[in-house]
């Protein structure tokens, strides 16, 4: 019988929780929904799914997860945020509400809802550093983009010039140490390569 992979949580307060759990399972992880501080203590990595960043910020407080999550991230917990998850992990979010809490695990400045409203959602193919096997299909839904990055942040993907407009060339995937984030929703395409990239980081930091 194959040994279980590393226990990896998915913040289960809002968003595509089931899809992230399925993607992690397909990569060989032991995925677990996380709603309580005690559950957070048991995982070797955490996915923060999309949703609405202001609501997620409030739910982190309501479920007594904000401070424990900040502490674990500061101690080196590998994390992967998609869309709203990227916003929360950032040091600063432009156009966020003044009372929104930032986790500050990535030295980046993001612009909330940068690509526009729901009707302006779109898909495109991206080249992502560290992901082999061809382009990644990226689904953008009321997505942020990264305005600036600190010195320790690696840029993994940008919007291709073929998209045109203000979005062309904008940063949409980053990694800093054990933390990575995408402005798009990798869980929606059935392609688990980004989750696999994250799990490689989880295993490195657990070793």
Q: List residues with catalytic annotation.
A: 83, 185, 187
Q: Smallest Cα–Cα separation from 139: which of 173, 105, 99, 183?
A: 183
Contact 144, 113 (CB under 8 A): yes
Contact 83, 194 (CB under 8 A): no
- Per the structure block, which two tokens stand in for 108? 């980046």
Contact 15, 22 (CB under 8 A): no
Determine the Cα–Cα distance for residues 167 and 200; give it in Å rounded to an integer: 30
Contact 65, 40 (CB under 8 A): yes
């Amino acid at each position: 019988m194959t040994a279980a992979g590393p226990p990896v949580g998915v913040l289960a307060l809002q968003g595509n929780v089931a899809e992230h759990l399925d993607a992690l399972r397909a990569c060989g992880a032991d995925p677990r929904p996380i709603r309580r501080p005690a559950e957070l203590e048991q995982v070797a990595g955490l996915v923060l799914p999309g949703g609405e960043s202001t609501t997620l910020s409030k739910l982190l407080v309501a479920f007594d997860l904000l401070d424990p999550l900040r502490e674990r991230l500061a101690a080196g917990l590998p994390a992967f945020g998609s869309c709203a998850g990227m916003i929360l992990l950032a040091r600063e979010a432009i156009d966020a509400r003044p009372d929104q809490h930032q986790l500050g695990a990535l030295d980046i400045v993001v612009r909330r809802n940068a690509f526009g409203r729901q009707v302006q959602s779109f898909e495109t193919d991206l080249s992502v550093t560290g992901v082999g096997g061809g382009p990644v299909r990226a689904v953008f839904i009321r997505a942020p983009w990264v305005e600036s990055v600190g010195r320790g942040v690696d840029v993994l993907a940008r919007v291709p010039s073929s998209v045109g407009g203000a979005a062309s060339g904008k940063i949409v995937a980053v990694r800093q140490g054990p933390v990575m984030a995408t402005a798009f929703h990798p869980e929606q395409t059935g392609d688990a390569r980004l989750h696999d990239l994250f799990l490689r980081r989880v295993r490195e930091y657990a070793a």
